Structure formats: structure tokens, C-alpha cells
Chains A and B, each alone.
Chain A
Amino acid sequence: MPILTTLIFLPLLGAIGLLCLPDSARPVFRWVTLVLCALHLALSSWLWLSFDKQLIGYQFTETFDWITLTLGQFGVISIDYALGVDGLSLPMVWLTSLVMLVGAVSSFEIKTKEKAYFSLYLLLTGTVVGCFVALDLFLFFLFFEFMLLPMYFLVGLWGGPRREYASLKFFLYTLAGSVFILLVMIALYLSAVDPAETALSVGLVKDRAMITDQVLDQVHLAISQLQVDPAQLVHTFDLRYLSDPANYVPESLLSTMAGHEIFGMSARLLAFALLFIGFAVKLPMVPLHTWLPDAHVEAPTPISVVLAGILLKIGGYGFFRIAYELFPDGAVYFAAWIAGLGVLSIVYGAFNALSQNDLKRMIAYSSVSHMGFVLLGLAALTPEGANAAIYQLFSHGILSPMLFLVAGVIYERTHDRSIDGYRGLATPMPSYAAWTAVAFFASLGLPGFSGFIGEFFSLMGAFNSTYVPVWMVVAGGFGLVLGAGYFLWTFQRVFLGKTWTMHDTSVLTDLTFREKAMLVPLGLLSLAFGILPGTLFSITEGYVMEFLKKF
């Protein structure tokens, strides 16, 4: 069985399997989920180890024709089931497995409607992996949209008091973003062709096996001179073709040559901007971020873990894989603006985090702030910046679950997350205090932990960039100071001083084995990636080098 398909369909089949189990099997639902997630992590660890760092391009590729439709004058539509991983998606796939496993452990606290919950949870796992490994834009979009369904229900059914508001807000926000992406998809479809399939359809070659680079060049030449009948053009959503300007029909809307304008704005720039907004909602970027704090506050702990750990990363991934790879000209054109929005997210998020009294809301705003570093690093278009952006996605994928688990620990005991509801928790709960300190210091960018590497190199990449003004780097660095401020202030208020709480102190028991089993490995991973950043850089390096050649 091909590995990537397995990674997608193992959880999906698991979801269906759970639905088939009788209700009397209730106690095993969570164990089935846990075992499947553990297996998932084992498989993606194998994938990581078998990945060849020297190779450029996608590995473990799988391609099957899926949908082929002849649309007369509009040519032929070809949608493939195409999967593959490279230095960008591999870390994300592994991170997905890791976070889903942690979330599965955390889901043990779910005590209602387990069958539905765990089926949806597994469904979510499969669709998220699908997002990261899809090489066909259509397939990507399918997974991207499908993911909303389980998320909507997971927040809306198992969430807190304002769960309906939060889940609807989340759903509509992301859907609005998706509409922009969909618009660009249609434009892309009309503009780009699959040269190999087109060679077959015009009869240049008889068999797929005979296609060589020469043939492709011939096709490109024929297309560029408009010698091909539009009805014979095979349009594609394959990202590998979409990222090559030679595959765009001249005079088409998004061709680099044509220079079409829409409302007085270059069509390509507009397309980039639309994609950017679509993914910026997901990241999220200020000012498109207000769904995140609400969704986090209402979501149950494991769903917060998944939301912060993985779902936000799809936004960052989409920037790289789609917006930047397909429209490098737009990325360059808007670089300073993107960096500015990144800095805005860093500083604005940090300021907001400072004023929160709800622990989860504070952490949610810190996520907004940390994702700003991704934007800043990406906008720089330097090797340091781009590597750091991926690193920051990965590192935040380890640390934000930790932070939400920390918030979940106290919530489970008292059902109260207010920061001023506690004082001096370090005395009754010393291990809890210690691991919270690890999570907080790692998140505020203490050297030795992974957070530092991501933030340091984002700033350095931006500093060395010709696109980013120096003041932005300084302002972004100010976010580090604020970060220390809100994390330590929170720590001081909740953990230091004389023990006081308005709740019954007898419930303030220290970490359980299950809680430690989640927090300790995450803390150690952050430490490991902070001390040996080469582990990840060696994977992303090759991808970033190829990526930057476009600019």
C-alpha cells in the first residue's frame, strides 16, 4: 500500500469503522483512536526516516487519473489524485501525526457522544494529512474544505457555553476565505495546461511513455504560438504544472506574458492577493484573526490542541505551496506589505495577549503573535527567513498544544480559566508549575528551545532582506519583549505568591500520569529541536533553495 494514501485513508477508514461499532463498545472508541493515531505517527516517522534529503522535488509520489471531462471549446479538464511530499510538507505531515496523537490522549476526557466525537476526530486527521500531501489543487481544496465539517461539529457540539457562536464564526470566516481561493482556482484552470496530456490529445505522441523533455518543449512552443486548438488543450490543477509559467496559455488571464488587468489591477497580482487573504484567514493574520480566540475559548482542550497545533499551519503551508509558488511575482510585489502585516500580527497579538484574563484567550492571542513571525520570515524571501518560517510553523505546532494542554489541566479541575482566579498554584501543584514554566519559557523564545530558532531566524532573515525595512525588524523584535511580558506576568499571577483560589483547594491535585505523558514529550521535543535545529533545517533546506529560485 502506498504510504501517503495510507496516511490519509487509515484514519478515514478508522472513522467509518468506529461508526460501525455498536454503542456497547463505547469504552473502546478512544482506545481505537489512540492506537490508530499511534500507528499514524509510526508511519510518518518511517516516512521522515526514508525521506531522501538530497533529492529535489516531490518524493513518494502517487498519481492516478481521477476526473477527465471534455468541455468542448473550454478544452479538457483533468483532475488527478496526485500525492507527494517534499521538504515543506514532510515536517507538516509528521507534525500532524504527532499533534493528533497528543490530541487523542487528551480526548480521553471527552465523556459524551463518544462515537460521533472520535469518528469526527479521525475524519479530521485524514483530511488534514490530505491537505499537506495533495499535489493537485483541486484535491487540496477538497480536503481543505472538507476539514471544516469535522471542526465545525467538534467545536459546536463538545464546546463551551458560547460554542454555537464560535463554531459558526469559525466556519463562515474560513468559508469566506475559501471563496477567494476558489475564484483563483477557476482562473488558474482557464489559464494553465498539462503539457503531457496536451501532447497526447493533439496527437504529438501516441503513448505516455514516449513523452520526453523535447516533446514537452514542442508542446510549450506550440501553445505559445497559439497553434493548438483550444478544444484540445488539457487543463490541469496539478501544482507541479501550475508552478511553471511555461504551462500558461498566452493571452490567458493569469499568463505572465499577457498582463491582463482587472479593475485596473494586474490579474496575477490580484490572484495572489486573493490567495493570500484566503490563507491569511487560516493562519490567522491580523486583522482576519478574530475567529481564533473565540474558537479556542469554546473548543474542548483536545480540539484547541489540534486547532493551534495543526490547522493554523495549513495557512502557512498554503502561502508557500500555493500563493508563493504559483505567483512569485505577487510575493515580490507585496513583500513589504506582507512583512508589515506580519509585524502587525506580532505586536498587536502580543498587546492583546497582555490584556487577557482568560488563560485560553491569552494563549490564542500569543498564537496570533507567533504566526506573525511566519509572515515576516516568509516575506523576507531569504534562505534564513523562509527556513525560519517553516521552522516557526513546526515549533509552534509543538509548543501551542503544550500551552493549551496547560490551560486544560486547570480547567478540567475547576472549570475556570480566569487568570485572576488563582494565585500561588506552584505550592499545591509543583509539577504543573514546572511544566507550565517549560512551555512558557519555550514559547517566549528562550534559546535552547525550538521557539527561539524560529523567531531568531525570522528576524534575521527579515533583517537581511532587501524587501523588509529595518524598522519592521526592530518592531518585530519588540514582540519578543512583550512575549516575555505576558507569559511571565501570567505565570507570576497564577503560580507565584501565597496559594489562593476561589475554588475548593482539594481539587488542585498535581499532574496525572496522562497529563505528564502529553506535556513531557512535547517539552522534550521542543528542547531537542532547539538544540539540534539541523534536524529540521536539513529537511527544509533543499526545498527552500528550490523555492527561492523563483524569486
Chain B
Amino acid sequence: MNLAILIPLLPFLGFLINGLGFRRIPKAAVGLIGTGAVLGSFAIVLSLFSGFTGTAQVVPVYDWFTVGDFNVSFGFQIDQLSLLMMLIITGIGSLIHLYSIGYMHHDEGFGKFFAFLNLFVFFMLLLVMGSNYLVMFIGWEGVGLCSYLLIGFWNKNPEYGYAARKAFVMNRIGDLGFLIGIFLIVARFGSLEFASVFPAAAQLQTGDAGLFWITFCLFIGAMGKSAQIPLYTWLPDAMAGPTPVSALIHAATMVTAGIYMIVRSNVLYTLAPETLHIIGWVALATALLAASIGLFQNDIKKVLAYSTVSQLGYMFMGLGMGAYTSGFFHVMTHAFFKALLFLGAGSVIHAMSDEQDIRYMGGLRKKLPITFTTFLLGTIAISGIPPFAGFFSKDEILAHVYEHSPLMWGLAVFGSMMTAFYMFRLLFLTFFGEFRGTHEQEHHLHESPLTMTLPLMVLAVLSVIGGFFNVPEILGGTAKLEQFLDPIYQYARQANPEAFAGVHLDHSTEFMLMGVSVAGAVISIIAAWVIYISRKSVPAPDEQVSGLQQVIYRKYYIDELYDAVFVKPIQALSRFFYSVVDKGGIDRFGVEGVGRFVKGLANEFRLLQTGATGFYVLMMVTGIAVILVYSLRSLIFG
């Protein structure tokens, strides 16, 4: 048996053990099993990674089924892209499992939580390891299920149940796009296997109409899972789940599935420049919209959530430029620093006795030194300050954007300035100044246990050095990631070599671009410093917010808009169909109408049965007369 099969199998076993026996297994064992399963997978991934020769390999698991001439096998694709994703999922996954041991310690659903978390890792691994689109789709929907279960984990709160359903249904809309994309692929290529679709696609022309629809439908799927306009509103609400879930699912892994899918299908996208164009603009709009909402949010997790939506926008922006590696690089670095920030936020919430509003925090750096230090590093990384991880990945994307369109670049830089501002606003309000919470909370403040701080420290290190995986040549690096991932673009390169010519900017322009974005970030940081440290201002209570700020704080009323435009009309329509069409129309007039008609007719005819002999004789004679006249009509009427 191939070792690769064990990678998803271990978390699945963990799910079975903890899921079936969560009431009987002691907590210590639950944590050990849950974390151990993912750690075991990580070890196997590492060994596969180190022994990887550079040639992609398909590991067949079993022949799934055949319908007509259409055969689907269940197999795993082991190549550069899936290996990196597996490293992220199992690596960060292990850290977050470890963290959860401490974070969820007091929760009565401890075992259930670990079971769901393991199940998520299983499906996420299927998603990235699948050797065809159908296995990917199974993972895709499977992670959606786990997301649902974990968002609604604290199901006694009705709001959380609502958020969970919203996430699932909104994802379903995207999944419908994915599904139709799959149908289009089958109709066009007769297979769903990557190994047969991609070489066949490489023979096609750039701008092929069929490919446009395929890539566009797949992108709709990506919009849902990776929270792009218009399907992004579920992600901020998804923060209802326990914080480790937000870190793992709604920041580091699941939400990047859309990017993974597009990078995986790079040959299709390279041949569909119109789709790339659409992706670029959707991504830019998402990045800016989400960043602007993030400016005024007061819930520590909501800020991070909007930041995630915005950063996902940057990743898609990279893809939209055809710079797949840059987009993917940002997936990696973002996984490091955003997981770190969420876990840090979790540590804060833990210390604050479940308080999430930053208006009631402040001055936490003394009480939570490790959390503060690591959170600071994460904040610097996301703000794009060199030489931290975020700088390299974001800068690469920005360079590609500039080459494509300086206007888009300008907007993207503006977005990254907002990023630096809201992140430092968050940092300052949380960790600096005076404590603004209750005495009880203050009394309770404590640094988290080692199971929680250890993952923070590891992720902090990665956030600092993560950028060095792909230092561009201009900065004296060798673009290792670029070279490593190169083979997965083989078919795309073959089909359209120009798309892979790289950045054509001269060095001075590139340095200028970097300088501008770094300067922008620094200006934002200074602005945040002035407002929240020097002037010590604290965001106003909800009811005092007004004007434009109110509009932004209320997330531009998009949720209300969707409710009015989609949810309410669908509900009204469903009531109309039931009470008017079904009950009123079909049943009342159709079915019961027939009944009434027959009954009425019978009632009339019944009157003829009078029982009076004279009447019967009369009717008989009349009848005979009529028949006689009819038979002799030719004689009578000539």
C-alpha cells in the first residue's frame, strides 16, 4: 500500500475514534488522538516531500465507478502543488489541534470538537490530493459540511446556527457553478482526470469559448469557497465558530481552496484570458471592499475576518494576472500569519473571559507578553513590512498587477495601506493604552498555557521567515518556490508560452514599486499610532456611530440587501406556491373541482329518480318518440 493513502486515512481514523467514543474517552486521550492523527499525517507528508523526485505521480486507490463510457477512479495526485498544500494543511493543522487542547479544555463538547476538526482535515486533504475534479468536489463539499458543523458548534446560540446555515447555503450556490463546470469539462474532454484533461486542453487555442465557460463556472465555485464578491458575506459571520476553527478553516486552509483549484487548473485559465480579466477585477473589488469594512470593525475576530476576505482578494488578483505562483505564495504566507493572528486573538479572548470587543480591551501587552510579541510579528507580516513574510508575497502580486495596469496597482496599494491601518489599529487598541474592561476581567487576565503559546511561537517564526521561500532575483534570491512549482505549469506553458514570460519591469521600477508600497504601509502605521496611541481615541459605542462610518460599520448594508433581494422574495414565492398555486389552484379548483362537479351532476340526475310510475311512463313514451323520429328522419324531413 502506498504511504500516501495513510495521509487522509489517519485523520479519518481520528474522527471515527473520537466521534464514536467522545463521551467515553478521557479528554487527555482525545486531544492526543486528534492531534497525533494530524501530526502523523504531517510526518508522512514530510517524508514524501523529502523523497519527492520532481515527477508527478497518481496513486490509484480504487476504481470508483463506471457509468456508460464514463469512468471515474478514486486516486491521489502527488505533485509539487498538492505536496505544498498538504504540508500547510497538516503542519498548521497539527499546531491548531495542539492549540485547541488548551483552548477548548473547558468545553463539554471537547471530543466532538476534535472529531469534527479531524474530519475537516480529512476532507481538506481529499480536496487537494484528488486526482480528478470529482474527488476534489467531494473534498470541497466535505469541508463545507465541517465548516457548517464547526461554525454552529456552540449550537445553543441561535445566531451561530444561522451563521452556519448561511455559510453552507451560500457555498452551495458557488458549488452549483463548480458542478456545471464539471459537466462542461466532461462534455468537452470526456474525462475528469487531471492527467487527461490538461494535456487535451493544451492543444486548444487561447480564447476558446468553451474554456471560458468552464473556467468561469469553476471560478463561481471558487467565489463561494474563497469568499469573493458577491458570495463573501458568509465568512465574517462564520467567526461564530470557536477561534481555532476560524484559524484553520476560515483563514489558513479551506478558504484558500478556490485559489488551489485555479492554480491546479492553470492550463485552462491560461487559455481563457477573459476569465482571468474578470477574476482580476472581482478580486480587486473584494480586496478594497473588505479592507474598508475592516477599518471600523470593533470585534477582534471580525477585523481579522474582513482582513482574510481582503487578503484572499489579493491572492485572486495574482491569479487574475496569470501569476499563479505569486497567488499561491501569498496563500502560504497568509496561512502562517493569519493563523497566527487568529490564534493570538483566541489567546486574548481566552484571557478576557470570552470578550471579543476591542473597545473593552487595551494594555494587554504586559499581561500577555508571548501573545503580544507573536501578534505584533504577525501584524508586521500582514502589513507588508520587509523582510517579513507578507512583504515578499504581496509585493510579487503587486508587481504583476502594475505590469498589467498601473491603475489597478494604485488601487491595490491603497488597499494594502488600509490593511496596515486596520491591523495596527487592532494591535494598538488591544495591547496598548489602558485596560478598558471590567475589574473582574482584569483580575482574570493571564497568559495562555504552553499548548496555546507554542503554536503561536512556531507560527511567529514562520511569519518572519516565510518570505524567504521565494525571494525574487532582484533582491538576490533564487525564487525557489517559483522553480519548485514550475513543472505544474508544463501544459499551460506549452499552450501559451508568452503567458509565462515573467515580469518585464526593469529593476528601478521594481524598487520604486516596493518603495511606494512600504512607504504607504508605514504612513498608515503612523496614522494609526497618532490616532490610537497619541490621542488615545477609542471607537465610539455603536449607537453614536453615524454617517459614512455608520454605513461602513454596518458593512454597507450588503446583508440587508441580500435579504431584501434574494431571501425575502424566495420565501414569499415559496408561500405563494404553496398557498395559492398548490392549495388554491391545483387542489381547490383542479382536484376538488372535479369532485364537486361530479357530485353536483349526480345531485341533478338524482332528481330524475322520482319513484312515480306515471313520470317513468311519460319519460318512456317521450324516449320512444324521439328514437322513432330520429330513425325515420329521412322519411319525415325528406
Contacts and interface: CB of A to CB of B under 8 A. Distances in A.
Nearest to B138: A447
Contact of B169 (A382, A488, A534): A488
A534 B65 contact: yes
Interface size class of A (residues with CB under 8 A): 35 or more
A446 B582 contact: no
Given A424-B156, A534-B65, A485 B169 contact: yes
B155 A481 contact: no
Given A352-B577, A382-B68, A383-B68, A496 B172 contact: no
Contact of A460 (B186, B579, B587): B186
B155 A290 contact: no
Given A290-B591, A382-B68, A534-B65, A496 B161 contact: yes
Interface in A172-211: 172-173
Interface residues of B, number: 51
A165 to B, nearest CB: 10
B142 interface: yes
Interface string B166-178: 0011001101100
A478 B176 contact: yes
Nearest to B587: A290
A519 B156 CA distance: 25
Interface stretch (B253-261, B318-326, B416-424, B566-574): B566-574
A331 interface: no
Contacts of A446: 141-142, 145
B581 to A, nearest CB: 8
A290 B578 contact: no
Given A169-B591, A355-B577, A481-B172, A383 B67 contact: yes
A498 B156 contact: yes
A427 B156 CA distance: 8
A473 B156 CA distance: 38
Contacts of B158: 423, 492, 496-498
Contacts of B582: 290, 352
A480 interface: yes
B180 A474 contact: yes
A464 B187 CA distance: 6
A492 B591 contact: no
A41 to B, nearest CB: 25
A463 interface: yes
Contact of A287 (B65, B137, B586): B586
Given A290-B591, A473-B183, A497 B571 contact: no
B404 interface: no
Interface in B172-231: 172-173, 175-176, 179-180, 182-184, 186-187
Contact of B155 (A441, A459, A485, A495): A495
Contacts of B570: 351, 354, 482, 485
A534 B70 CA distance: 12
B480 interface: no
Contacts of B506: none
Nearest to A489: B165
Nearest to B63: A534
Contacts of B142: 446-448
A478 B169 CA distance: 11
A482 B173 CA distance: 9
Given A290-B591, A441-B145, A459 B64 contact: no
B69 interface: yes
Contacts of A423: 158
B64 A477 contact: no
Interface string B127-149: 00000000001100110010010
A463 B184 CA distance: 8
Interface in A363-414: 382-384, 387-388
B180 A477 contact: yes
B600 interface: no
Nearest to A548: B68
A66 to B, nearest CB: 35
Contacts of A456: 179
A355 B578 contact: yes
A58 interface: no
A153 interface: no
Nearest to B68: A383
Interface in A350-365: 351-356
B571 A355 contact: yes
B157 interface: yes
Interface in A505-551: 532-534, 537, 541, 544
A387 B66 CA distance: 10
A12 interface: no
- Most chain A CB atoms below 10 A, which of B67, B173, B175: B67
B161 A492 contact: yes
A10 interface: no
Interface string A439-454: 0010000111000100
B179 to A, nearest CB: 6
Contacts of A117: none
A289 B66 CA distance: 34
Contacts of A384: 67-68, 70
A481 B64 contact: no
A426 interface: yes
Contact of A351 (B137, B156, B574): B574
B556 interface: no
Contacts of A287: 586, 590
Interface in B557-611: 570-571, 573-575, 577-579, 582, 586-587, 590-591, 595
A305 B157 CA distance: 33
A383 B187 CA distance: 14
Contacts of B156: 424, 427, 496-499
Contacts of A354: 570-571, 574
Given A354-B570, A480-B176, A481-B176, A463 B183 contact: yes
Given A481-B173, A488-B165, A383 B141 contact: no
Nearest to A464: B187
Nearest to B149: A437
A384 B570 CA distance: 31
A13 interface: no
Contacts of B175: 480
A457 interface: yes
Interface of B: 63-70, 137-138, 141-142, 145, 148, 152, 155-158, 160-162, 164-165, 168-169, 172-173, 175-176, 179-180, 182-184, 186-187, 570-571, 573-575, 577-579, 582, 586-587, 590-591, 595
21 contacts: A290-B590, A352-B577, A352-B578, A355-B575, A355-B578, A382-B68, A383-B69, A383-B70, A446-B145, A448-B142, A457-B67, A459-B179, A464-B186, A464-B187, A480-B176, A492-B161, A492-B164, A497-B155, A497-B156, A541-B67, A544-B68
Interface of A: 169, 172-173, 287, 290-291, 348, 351-356, 382-384, 387-388, 423-424, 426-427, 441, 446-448, 452, 456-457, 459-460, 463-464, 473-474, 477-478, 480-482, 484-485, 488-489, 491-492, 495-499, 532-534, 537, 541, 544
Given A355-B571, A474-B176, A488-B148, 9 more contacts: A287-B590, A383-B68, A446-B142, A447-B142, A460-B183, A488-B164, A488-B169, A492-B164, A534-B66
Top 9 closest A-B pairs, CB basis?
A383-B68, A496-B161, A497-B158, A355-B574, A354-B574, A447-B138, A534-B65, A463-B183, A351-B574
